């Protein structure tokens, strides 16, 4: 069976993908510098699957470290999760974001070329659609204007992949545009463990519910949406991880560059999330309505038809599943991986 290198694979999406790849019979190698993660996540993946993962502590910008990994393992495909992803922090520290995110991509592509590895899947984001495109987003729409440096790093890295693939037609590239991943593995053993104050909605909700934070602020209730709060395409991280397995199956059989939205196609509002979380879990999430957050779009959701058509992938989990599994993880790990 093929071997897949997960760059940044100890993180939230990477650890869930490692588990699904192992369950599908792939061999998994993970490289991460733990900038926003813990090796404990991978230990738990090994426990859950009963299979080993070869784990490297390495910075993906470090060409020499990558060279060693490619020399020591016969890698068939790479999934590039490694990157910094906090939108607010990227506004405050743009150079750190451009340096880290873009250099990881350049170093990976350079060392893949040197090692003759021809398949790469990249963690992109719905944020590249920008504000001008109408929802639902389809992959043929042009990339738009991003509202923060994090988004621009994704947009620029997509361009880098397109240029690299044009220059080397033997290189196969899949750009996966994720919508809003939430939830956790149903065991509650792995999940999202943000450092510091969470930027994203669901970790904030679970930390309020578990008593780590006082109160959730819902950013804006005067948007042109049915209940006045923003609409997003929340996707269960296990569905998302299974999308990566389908993308690996596909890239090992096809050349060229493809872009896929990974979302459910169904928008929910911030209020829907809070109400569903409270109903499914029987816990209160104290919340207030506040000002809009700069850069937020009223609505972002996918047309997910292409992934169904070409990858045979569609989401299976409901919003109730997402809220239940997020809580199950947080309840069992109130301090994340730091016990
Ligand atoms: P995460 O922070 O949990 O995972 C990213 C991993 O990359 C972390 O383990 C981090 O330690 C590692 N990393 C960062 N810089 C590194 C470097 N220079 N060298 C080695 N490792 C490095 O985030 P995630 O939610 O799992 O996201 C994975 C990818 O998906 C990221 O590229 C992110 O931008 C992208 N993405 C995430 C979302 C989301 O909402 N979670 C949405 C769209 C796209
Ligand atoms: N949100 C909120 N309060 C928070 C965090 C997020 O109301 O503390 C809202 C945010 O305005 C957006 C939605 O939740 O409408 C999802 O935000 P998140 O940061 O999780 O993802 P984004 O879509 O911005 O990438």
Q: Whose CA is nearest to atom 13 of ligand 1?
A: 82
The β-bridge relationship of strands 3-7 and 27-32 is parallel
66-98 burial code (b ≥16 CB/10 A, e <16): beebbeebebbbbbbbbbbbbbebbeeeeeebb
* Contact of 148 with 295, CB cutoff 8 Å: yes
pLDDT-derived band of residue 1, with 50, 70 and 90 as boundaries? confident
For 37-78, give the secondary structure using H, E and C. Answer: CCHHHHHHHHHHHCCCCEEEECCCCCHHHHHHHHHHCCCCEE
Q: What is the DSSP letter of 145?
A: -
Confirm whether 150 is a catalytic residue. yes
Whether the model clears a pTM of 0.85, i.e. scores above it, the answer is yes
* Contact of 24 with 47, CB cutoff 8 Å: no
* Rama region for 200: left / alpha / beta (φ>0; ψ in -120 to 50; rest): beta
Residue 312 CB coordination number (10 Å): 10
Residue 29 alpha carbon to ligand 2 centre in Å: 32
Q: Which of residues 237 and 339 earns the better pLDDT score?
A: 237
CA separation for the pair 73, 54 (Å, rounded): 9
Q: Is the shortest distance between the CB of 336 and ligand 1 below 6 Å?
A: no
CA separation for the pair 224, 75 (Å, rounded): 48
Interval 64-95: pLDDT, tens = 999 999 999 999 999 999 999 999 999 999 99
CA separation for the pair 251, 66 (Å, rounded): 21
Q: Is the shortest distance between the CB of 11 and ligand 1 below 6 Å?
A: yes
**Looking at 26, 97, 150, 268, which residue is catalytic?**
150
Q: Is 141 exposed, middle or buried (0-12, 13-18, 19+ CB in 10 A)?
A: middle
Interval 195-247: pLDDT, tens = 889 999 999 999 999 999 999 999 999 999 999 999 999 999 999 999 999 99
In testing the pocket of ligand 1, which one of 81, 97, 200 has its CB within 8 Å of the most ligand atoms? 81
CA separation for the pair 135, 265 (Å, rounded): 10
* Contact of 30 with 53, CB cutoff 8 Å: yes
């Amino acid at each position: 069976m093929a071997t897949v290198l997960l760059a940044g694979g100890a993180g939230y999406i990477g650890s869930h993908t490692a588990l699904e790849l192992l369950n599908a019979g792939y061999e998994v190698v993970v490289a991460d510098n733990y900038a926003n993660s813990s090796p404990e996540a991978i230990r738990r993946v090994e426990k859950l699957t009963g299979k080993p993962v070869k784990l490297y502590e390495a910075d993906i910008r470090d060409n020499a470290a990558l060279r060693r990994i490619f020399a020591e393992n016969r890698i068939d495909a790479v999934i590039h999760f490694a990157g910094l992803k906090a939108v607010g922090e990227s506004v405050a520290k743009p150079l750190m974001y451009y340096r880290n995110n873009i250099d990881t991509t350049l170093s990976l592509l350079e060392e893949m070329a040197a090692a003759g590895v021809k398949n790469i899947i990249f963690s992109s984001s719905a944020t590249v659609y920008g504000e001008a495109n109408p929802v639902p987003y389809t992959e043929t729409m042009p990339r738009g204007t991003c509202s923060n440096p994090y988004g621009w790093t994704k947009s620029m890295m997509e361009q880098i992949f397109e240029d690299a693939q044009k220059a080397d037609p033997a290189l196969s590239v899949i750009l996966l545009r994720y919508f809003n991943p939430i939830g956790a593995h149903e065991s509650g053993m792995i999940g999202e463990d943000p450092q510091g104050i969470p930027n994203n909605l669901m970790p904030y909700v679970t930390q309020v519910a578990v008593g780590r934070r006082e109160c959730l602020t819902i950013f804006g209730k005067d948007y042109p949406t049915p209940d006045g709060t923003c609409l997003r395409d929340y996707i269960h991280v296990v569905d998302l991880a299974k999308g990566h397995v389908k993308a690996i199956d596909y890239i090992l059989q096809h050349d060229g560059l493809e872009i896929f939205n990974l979302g459910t196609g169904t928008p929910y509002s911030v209020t829907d999330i809070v109400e569903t979380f409270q109903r499914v879990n029987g816990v209160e999430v104290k919340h207030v309505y506040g000002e809009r957050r700069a850069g937020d779009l009223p609505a972002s959701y996918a047309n997910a038809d292409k992934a169904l058509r070409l990858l045979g992938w569609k989401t299976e989990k409901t919003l109730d599943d997402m809220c239940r599994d997020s809580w199950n993880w947080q309840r069992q790990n109130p301090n994340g991986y730091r016990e």
